[in-house]
Chains A and B, each alone.
Chain A
Amino acid sequence: MTRYFTDEHEWIDVDGTTATVGITAYAQEQLGDIVFVEVPAAGASVSKGGEAAVVESVKAASDVYAPVTGTVTEGNAALGDDPSLVNSDPEGAGWFFKLTLADAGELDGLMDEAGYKAFVAGL
């Protein structure tokens, strides 16, 4: 399994043609306490760079973009009851949705962990 990062502060774990998407620890720290998350339903099509999910803290709201094009297989239902998972475990239990990749080639432009760290350090 390989983990990639976007400059929009999403992470994506890829295992063959399936992938899991969430927002980074840095993003949740910037947003503050997450109070609401809206994830896409299974079957939804998302396209790279398009709006896929919504994350809200008390005083900020943000659209989460799909890092790659694909078909959603599962939204994280646990976030509906407990959005704080995004704060406590953003890159684990606080994942947003899983999808089937349409084009693995889209991963090429994404960063690895070291690259993202350097990107954040430069912000």
Chain B
Amino acid sequence: MMQLNQSGWKPEMGANDDGAAGTFTGNRALMLEEPLIFEIGGSETTGVDFTVRPELVEGLSSSSGSSDPEGQGFDKLNPNGILGNLLRTAPIGLPGLSEPETIRHYTRLSRQNYAIDLGLFPLGSCTMKHNPRLNEKVARMAGFGDVHPLQPRETVQGALAVIHELAHWLVTLTGMKAVAMSPKAGAHGELCGVLAIKAAIEAKGEDRPVILVPESAHGTNPATAAFAGFRVESIPATPEGRVDVEALKAKLGPDVAGVMITNPNTCGLFERELKTISDAVHAAGAYVYCDGANFNAIVGRVRPGDLGVDAMHINLHKTFSTPHGGGGPGSGPVVLSEALAPFAPLPFVEKRGDEFMLIEEETAGEHHASSFGRMAAFHGQMGMFTRALSYILSHGADGLRQVAEDAVLNANYILRSLEGVLDAPFAGSGPCMHEALFTDDGLAEGFSTLDIAKGLIDEGYHPMTVYFPLVVHGAMLVEPTETESKATLDQFIGALRSVANRARQGDPALKSAPHHAPRRRLDETLAARKPVLVWKDEGLAVAAE
């Protein structure tokens, strides 16, 4: 078999030791249960009133009238004909709620979520930093939030200016040549970079089927390379948690198109030899893709362009504070080197004189004929561009540099405050960057990373990233970010030390944590063995049988 279970992640349920007396409602004070909309809504209930037009009030359908009065090709006497005789007859099965019920439904649901607004959210490599509310306000200005992507360019000069301005700062901050703004998320940006590499290789008339990916890489890296038609070959890590440069060099050859490297890497370490790697990769005729997920650790202090990177995506939410929103939407602009810039996808914004132009398929041929094409409809995640630019302008040059410094300071503070109670495999190799990595080594028999994570939930924290990266067993990756105060970190360190000690001592109560969350451990095995992905009315299902 290929890999049995590299990360060691095995969900466990724990015992049901919920001894507290039940309530009639199932609620526990402020912890409120909420049914599904399908259980409380009705097909005749609606929370939206429409202005009924006068002629409809009088009972005269506006569709009534003489048949095809002007010979215009449709028959108003046969409204279903205008609909191609496809008028809906079957019910859809969509429940509605009145406005107060709607507000209460979603407000109750929201309170079952942990969020950065509630407390520290130390998900390593995911970077949960504070989301400034100015960004939300700016994104909602009518001139940005309420413009259509296909309006004539003369009517959207301000919107194009925002894209251009953000693009300028992304290029400047990374020391690169150009940026593709349209990718819709980090993984989409990865695809953009890998396709640019593939296009560049095709342009040279070469056939290079292999992409090298370090084993500590995020799963999107190999998935992206494979989607683009490359064969993925893995590069091992050194004992100190960095790419094995000699192993990498040994794999370079005429079949290698590129290397995907994360820097700082997912062990929280800076790849010291990235420039050496880049030089070797370039000498072999290949390109360097850098996963920029962790750019927040070096923004304002290091420019990836100076390290020989050819393409790097920037997750705007990680470095530039756009909201995660419970899992998206993201935005993943890709900065490109001089070698790859000609292959950048369409569209992009260009300034000619005082006017901002949108370069699309129509005019690309004039001076951008090598573009590998379009990756998505329209022009990218405008709502994220406004937020990210607001963040950049708010911080300025001094603030951005401070962001990287405080993020790294906070992570090292956590690393050194916890290495006594948790195994920190790479702590000996020096300071970490923006995140600190620990393993499950030293826990009592039968206790796992999962138990520590669930114990942290009871302490009022979202757990760190668990079981990633795969290069260590039972990984715990802690990233505090720069927007946490020392007092917050001190309390978190106290909590994690306490939970870690319980796991080392084998406290059985930890096996069934969390005890105080809206739900106890959930049965993921059941969910996967018998998938229930949509709500089904049990009564109806029985009746139908």
Chain B residues with Cβ under 8 A from A32's Cβ? Answer: 5, 9-11
Question: At the interface, yes or no: B467 with Cβ under 8 Å from chain A?
Answer: yes
Q: Is the CB of A55 within 8 A of B1?
A: yes
Interface code A25-48, partner B: CB below 8 Å = 1, 0 otherwise?
A: 001001111011000000000000
Q: Is the CB of B11 within 8 A of A59?
A: yes
Closest A residue, CB atoms, query B5: A60
Partner of B10, one of A9, A56, A57, A84: A57
Chain A residues with Cβ under 8 A from B9's Cβ? Answer: 32, 59-60
Question: At the interface, yes or no: A65 with Cβ under 8 Å from chain B?
Answer: yes
Complex CA distance for A2 and B2, rounded to whole angstroms: 25
Complex CA distance for A8 and B1, rounded to whole angstroms: 5
Question: At the interface, yes or no: A83 with Cβ under 8 Å from chain B?
Answer: yes
Interface size class of B (residues with CB under 8 A): 10 to 19
CB distance from B220 to the nearest CB of A (A): 16
Complex CA distance for A33 and B7, rounded to whole angstroms: 15
A35-B1 contact given A59-B7, A59-B11, A59-B467, CB 8 Å threshold: no
Question: At the interface, yes or no: B525 with Cβ under 8 Å from chain A?
Answer: yes
Question: At the interface, yes or no: A68 with Cβ under 8 Å from chain B?
Answer: no
Complex CA distance for A58 and B4, rounded to whole angstroms: 12
A60-B7 contact given A35-B525, A35-B528, A84-B529, CB 8 Å threshold: yes
Question: At the interface, yes or no: A103 with Cβ under 8 Å from chain B?
Answer: no
Q: Is the CB of B1 within 8 A of A83?
A: no
Shortest Cβ-Cβ A-B pairs, 4 listed: A32-B10, A35-B528, A33-B525, A59-B9
Q: Is the CB of B528 within 8 A of A63?
A: no
Given contacts A63-B1, A65-B2, 8 further A-B pairs with CB under 8 A are A30-B5, A32-B5, A36-B529, A55-B1, A57-B5, A59-B10, A60-B7, A62-B5
Question: At the interface, yes or no: B524 with Cβ under 8 Å from chain A?
Answer: yes
Closest B residue, CB atoms, query A60: B5
Q: List 11 A-B contacts (CB under 8 A).
A: A23-B1, A31-B10, A33-B10, A35-B529, A55-B1, A56-B528, A59-B9, A59-B467, A60-B3, A60-B6, A63-B1
Closest A residue, CB atoms, query B3: A62
Partner of A62, one of B4, B467, B524: B4
Chain A residues with Cβ under 8 A from B1's Cβ? Answer: 8-10, 23, 27, 55, 62-65
Closest A residue, CB atoms, query B530: A35
Complex CA distance for A57 and B6, rounded to whole angstroms: 12
CB distance from A80 to the nearest CB of B (A): 11
State the B residues within 8 Å of A (CB).
Answer: 1-7, 9-11, 467, 524-525, 528-529
Most buried by A among B1, B5, B529: B1
Q: Is the CB of A58 within 8 A of B11?
A: yes
Chain A residues with Cβ under 8 A from B529's Cβ? Answer: 33, 35-36, 83-84
Complex CA distance for A62 and B528, rounded to whole angstroms: 16
Chief secondary structure at chain B's binding surface: loop
Most buried by A among B7, B524, B528: B528
Chain A residues with Cβ under 8 A from B528's Cβ? Answer: 35-36, 56, 58
Interface code A74-88, partner B: CB below 8 Å = 1, 0 otherwise?
A: 000000000110000
Complex CA distance for A62 and B7, rounded to whole angstroms: 13
Complex CA distance for A65 and B525, rounded to whole angstroms: 24
Closest B residue, CB atoms, query A6: B1
Interface code A103-114, partner B: CB below 8 Å = 1, 0 otherwise?
A: 000000000000
Closest A residue, CB atoms, query B525: A33
Closest B residue, CB atoms, query A26: B4
Chain B residues with Cβ under 8 A from A57's Cβ? Answer: 5, 10
Complex CA distance for A105 and B1, rounded to whole angstroms: 21
CB distance from A63 to the nearest CB of B (A): 5
A31-B11 contact given A83-B529, A84-B529, CB 8 Å threshold: no
Q: Is the CB of B7 within 8 A of A63?
A: no
CB distance from B477 to the nearest CB of A (A): 16
CB distance from A78 to the nearest CB of B (A): 14
Q: Is the CB of B524 within 8 A of A60?
A: no
A27-B7 contact given A33-B525, A58-B524, CB 8 Å threshold: no
Closest B residue, CB atoms, query A35: B528
CB distance from A99 to the nearest CB of B (A): 17
Complex CA distance for A9 and B1, rounded to whole angstroms: 6
CB distance from B6 to the nearest CB of A (A): 8
Complex CA distance for A31 and B6, rounded to whole angstroms: 9
Chain A residues with Cβ under 8 A from B467's Cβ? Answer: 59
Chain A residues with Cβ under 8 A from B3's Cβ? Answer: 60, 62
Closest B residue, CB atoms, query A53: B1
Complex CA distance for A10 and B529, rounded to whole angstroms: 23
Q: Is the CB of A62 within 8 A of B525?
A: no
Chain A residues with Cβ under 8 A from B7's Cβ? Answer: 59-60
Q: Is the CB of B11 within 8 A of A60?
A: no
CB distance from A12 to the nearest CB of B (A): 13
CB distance from A53 to the nearest CB of B (A): 9
Complex CA distance for A62 and B6, rounded to whole angstroms: 10
CB distance from B385 to the nearest CB of A (A): 35
Complex CA distance for A16 and B542, rounded to whole angstroms: 50
Complex CA distance for A83 and B525, rounded to whole angstroms: 11
Q: Is the CB of B11 within 8 A of A63?
A: no
CB distance from B438 to the nearest CB of A (A): 19
Chain B residues with Cβ under 8 A from A58's Cβ? Answer: 10-11, 524-525, 528
Complex CA distance for A13 and B2, rounded to whole angstroms: 21
